[in-house]
Chain A
């Protein structure tokens, strides 16, 4: 079965602390993985995708096929990072995204 699991509903950290949002996936093929973010009162938007291997707003995510994980990390959280984060997988040869349940990141001052 194709599935994305985000085990934490809420992650609360203090400003300046490291952040790791966990994402595990279940997919037998070669996945395309993404992180989407929804800030308060804004629409869902792409944060990063594993294939581009870039750092966006200080966030990085590494695909670990052995552990079937795609955790999102940032060394020093900022208050403006507070948002809902969704991990998503795109199965091969389809145009759809399979989303995890989302993790709310709360960065306290």
Chain B
């Protein structure tokens, strides 16, 4: 069974540009999460989808970040315009049920560098 897949694995962009990260969850997993780790800090929650609906987006830092999950399958996270402080590793995870009752499987992460 394929795991959670993220594209691209690395991205280097200039400040002010737009970047779109993609996450393909494990097939059948309704729950999809985005997290990020900025340099030297802990992994922080961004948002949680249940199917195509945003269940919790309390961790989204500002309106430069837009997450979508059309059709309840893959998800995209767009950063527009990117700022230097957006640099970090962005993780996606999926689970069959709520993470309190089902294991969350993580992708390998996308390393974003804004220069």
Q: Is the CB of B41 within 8 A of A96?
A: no
Q: Is B22 an interface residue, CB under 8 A from the partner?
A: no
Q: Say yes or no: A99-B44 contact (C-beta < 8 A), given A43-B3, A45-B106, A46-B104.
A: yes
Q: Is the CB of A96 within 8 A of B59?
A: yes
Name B97-114 residues within 8 Å CB distance of A: 98-100, 103-109
Q: Is the CB of A99 within 8 A of B55?
A: no
Q: Is the CB of A43 within 8 A of B45?
A: no
Question: A95: which B residues are within 8 A, CB to CB?
Answer: 31, 33, 48, 50, 55-56, 95, 98-100
Q: Is the CB of A46 within 8 A of B103?
A: yes
Give the bracket for the number of chain B residues in contact with chain A.
20 to 34
Question: Which chain A residue has the least Cβ–Cβ distance from B107?
Answer: A43
- Chain B CB count within 10 A is highest, among A45, A96, A99, for A96
Q: Is A86 an interface residue, CB under 8 A from the partner?
A: yes
Query: How many residues of chain A get a CB closer than 8 Å to chain B's CBs?
Result: 17
Q: Is the CB of B106 within 8 A of A44?
A: yes
Can you list 22 A-B contacts with CB-CB less than 8 angstroms, sorted by A residue number?
Answer: A4-B42, A44-B43, A44-B106, A45-B105, A46-B104, A90-B100, A94-B48, A95-B31, A95-B48, A95-B50, A95-B56, A95-B95, A97-B33, A97-B45, A97-B99, A98-B45, A99-B35, A99-B42, A100-B42, A101-B42, A102-B42, A102-B43
Q: Which B residues lie at the A interface, using CB under 8 A?
A: 3-4, 31, 33, 35, 41-45, 48, 50, 55-56, 58-59, 91, 93, 95, 98-100, 103-109
Q: Which A residues lie at the B interface, using CB under 8 A?
A: 4, 32, 43-46, 86, 90, 94-102
